[in-house]
Structure 1
Amino acid sequence: MTELVAYRLDNGVATITLDDGKANVMSESMISAIAGALDRAEADRAVVLLTGRSRMFSAGYDLATFSRSPEDIRRTMRAGGDLIHRLLEFPFPVVAACPGHAIAQGAFTLLATDVRFGIAGDFKLGLNEVAIGLTVPHYGVEVARHRLTAPGFDRAMNTGILVDPAEARDMGFLDVLVADADELHVRATAEAHRLTGIDFGAHTQTKLRVRAQVCAAVRTGIDSEFGA
């Protein structure tokens, strides 16, 4: 089986690269692999640089997931919600380098990180659930409410629109937009290394204070929708 996630540690920065050879779908296997890489980064006390394959951060859940049994759907989506909750509370900084498309669960994952770099180009970012007949999970609503602008949140949630990287930055999906893949790597890596110099204890405690409401809402949403 092809390795879904690569892990590389370099001077206090753990680069976690998602690559399933296609759309980096958030299957249970992919989510489990990301969780394992986060375990390694936490044990290494490393700043995380989370990225994807060329032109693709993640297109979200495999739509085939939603044709499976209700129990399979609940299990997969609970795992996805748990990943979002973990990223929101991760005890070390998490930088996202989004090299292309980030859709649905892929966009929720992006929104749960601390600093988000994106690349200009013919890419789409957004939350297309209502456009394809899905109700946005509670945990997704809450992390999007926390990170998107108020008008961007309402529009993204209720219309299912996918936007280009420049508009995605304006809506709050991204913090920094760069010109190309080379600059993305340089800028995101530099930021990750800069963050190795902050006080991790203060970072963790401040993050938990700043995100107390969203983390509680995400956890409540996961447990109420998919079972405690």
Structure 2
Amino acid sequence: MTAPILDYTLTDGIAVLTMDDGRANALGHAMIDALAEGLSRADKEAKAIVILGREGRFCAGFDLEAMAGGPDKVVTLVSAGANLLMDIYTHRLPIVIGCTGHALAAGGLLLLAADLRIGAEGNFKIGLPEVAIGMTMPVFGIELARDRLARHHLTAALTQARIYNPQEAAQIGYLDMTVPAEALRETALVRAAELGALRQPAFANTKRKEREETVTLIRETLVDDSKTFDGASN
């Protein structure tokens, strides 16, 4: 029997979604669907959400094998990933990410979409390397970065594809804080409980208003922008 790639637990009103595909937690269709299902379930029974990865690996980006079938495969997968990111970015519940290790490409975008990001200390790589590997950065990635990263680091992070360690990532906005790896899960749970105690629907309504402009731009451009997902320039 195949082990599940996403574990869902509910403790004291905190839904914990732990990604573990036994490898690098790449975002393929199965992982995207599992995360979307977990978010939907949490919406019905939790007050806050924590997303974790496997030890040393949070998420390595989109699954390159799933995109190997040509431009249509790229568009299908990356569009699904964009919709997942919007689900996280607009979710009515607070979402805390415990970044357990490397977070690259779509892994970095997951960090940008969450409400609070806590990183494990260590020799890990965090960032958006798309340009360095020949991919045009999609509008949804640019706009999430524009919203969450320090303005004077935006060009280096996006167009120059700079990669950061966790301490640097916290300084520029991929993370909000770092903690020793052994304290990551507990810290994420504590912070999720604090955010989950905020009054609803005030939290959800304010989050929606805060992010409405970015969400509208991303949704309006997603179809046309999908033409660039395979690295094309127009």
* Bucket of the pairwise TM-score, normalised by the shorter protein: over 0.9
- How much does 1:197 deviate? 1.3
The two structures have a TM-score, normalised by structure 2, of 0.93
1:119-134 to structure 2, matched below 5 A, reads: 119-134=120-135
Equivalent pairs, count = 226
1:141-220 to structure 2, matched below 5 A, reads: 141-178=142-179, 180-220=180-220
Partner of 1:224: 224
Mapped contact 2:15–2:46 kept (Cα < 8 A): no
Partner of 2:232: none
- Indicate the larger mover: 19-28 or 56-65: 56-65
- Indicate the larger mover: 214-223 or 49-58: 214-223
Mapped contact 1:152–1:172 kept (Cα < 8 A): no
- How much does 1:119 deviate? 1.4
- Indicate the larger mover: 202-211 or 189-198: 189-198
Deviations 1:105-148 (A, max 9, x none): 01101110000100111000000001111111111111111000
- How much does 1:150 deviate? 0.9
Amino acid at match of 2:191: E
- How much does 1:62 deviate? 2.0
Deviations 1:9-42 (A, max 9, x none): 0111000001001100000111011001111101
Mapped contact 1:82–1:222 kept (Cα < 8 A): no
1:11-30 to structure 2, matched below 5 A, reads: 11-30=12-31
Mapped contact 2:10–2:46 kept (Cα < 8 A): no
Amino acid at match of 1:224: D
Mapped contact 1:84–1:108 kept (Cα < 8 A): yes
Percent identity over the alignment is: 35
- How much does 1:46 deviate? 2.9
**Are residues 1:76 and 2:97 paired?**
no
Partner secondary structure for residue 200 of structure 1: coil
Partner secondary structure for residue 15 of structure 1: strand
Unaligned runs of 5+ in 2: 228-234
1:29-48 to structure 2, matched below 5 A, reads: 29-48=30-49
CA distance in 2, matches of 1:86, 1:171: 24
Amino acid at match of 2:29: E
